[in-house]
Amino acid sequence: MVNRVWMCPGVPCKGVHCTFKLCLRHNLLVPSLPQPRPRVPSSTVDFLCSVCHKVFPLQRMLTRHLKCHSMVKRHPCRYCGKGFNDTFDLKRHMRTHTGIRPYRCELCDKAFTQRCSLESHLRKIHGVTQQYAYRQRRSKIFVCEDCGFTSNRPDEYFLHVRQCHPASPALRRYYRRQAHEAANGVSSEHKLGAFLMRPAAGFYVG
């Protein structure tokens, strides 16, 4: 078995690392981007990017943003090969290939790839503003990225994927995550029954 190595794409670096983590850490330490003028946070609770000095109101937004500065892309698009460091960005990009638009306007039947695009459409075209309480979580829908099937029930969604798309990367990721959480005694928010948790016959989860 050939051991996988990660190569820094920086020029003239091209350093070789034995793990993705080491390569990513090395890449973030190498100053490969021009440094613009620092922006001063508007308040003491703002979070400043140390690379481009962009300001974010939340730590999680800064953490996600920092991934864009890495030249090493962990999640490639299976259609065109374009790489992303965030699975959300990959999913959003892949829908430009598949044409999947799970968020449909109930007033005009127009469909969108993202919830925020639907909410913007409702506000600008129909004058409807969504009202959410502070830190209120929007109702989650589960989208099959292979055929566009949607459901607000995780068990129904995973049963669909298991029966119709047993080789789906989403199913593989779910089995791996559940196995990891079970090994560490973590309770999942959308844990499914034993029948759905069992991989289909002949399906290897690595």
**Does residue 18 surpass a pLDDT of 80?**
no
pLDDT at 24: 57
Domain range for 101 is: 75-138
Residue 50 lies in a domain: yes
Q: Both 68 and 115 in a single domain?
A: no
Specify if 146 maps to a domain. no
d(CA 59, CA 75) in angstroms, rounded, equals 22
Is residue 144 a part of any domain in this protein? no
| Domains contained in the chain, number | 3
Question: Each residue of 69-98: pLDDT tens digit?
Answer: 877 778 888 889 888 888 888 889 999 999
């690595």: which residue's tokens? 206
Q: Which residues contact 166 (CB under 8 A, 6 or more apart)?
A: 200, 203
Same domain, 174 and 200: yes
Q: Is residue 181 located within the same domain as residue 125?
A: no
Residue with the bigger pLDDT between 137 and 28: it is 137
Domain contains 45: yes
Q: Is the pLDDT of residue 203 over 90?
A: no
Whether the CB-CB separation of 56 and 46 falls below 8 Å is answered with: yes
Closest C-alpha among 11, 67, 83 to residue 52 = 67
Residue ending a domain, choose from 89, 106, 138 = 138
Residues 6+ apart with CB under 8 A from 148: 98, 100, 101, 102
Q: Are 10 and 67 part of one and the same domain?
A: yes
Please indicate, yes or no, if residue 57 is contained in any of the structural domains: yes
Q: Look at residues 138, 159, 189 and tell me which one is the last residue of a structural domain.
A: 138
Residue 101 and residue 56 share a domain: no
* pLDDT interval class at 204 (50, 70, 90): very low
On whether both 103 and 160 belong to a single domain, the answer is no
Is residue 63 assigned to a domain? yes
Residue 163's nearest CA partner among 178, 146, 180 is 146
143 in any annotated domain: no
Domain's final residue, options 72, 102, 130: 72
Segment 32-51, tens digit of pLDDT: 444 444 455 455 568 888 88
Q: Are residues 82 and 57 in the same domain?
A: no
Q: How far is CA 83 from CA 18, 32, 92, 98, 194, in A?
A: 20, 18, 12, 17, 35
**22 within domain boundaries:** yes
The pLDDT value recorded for residue 15 is 56
The answer, yes or no, to whether residue 112 has pLDDT greater than 50, is yes
Residues 55 and 81 in one domain: no
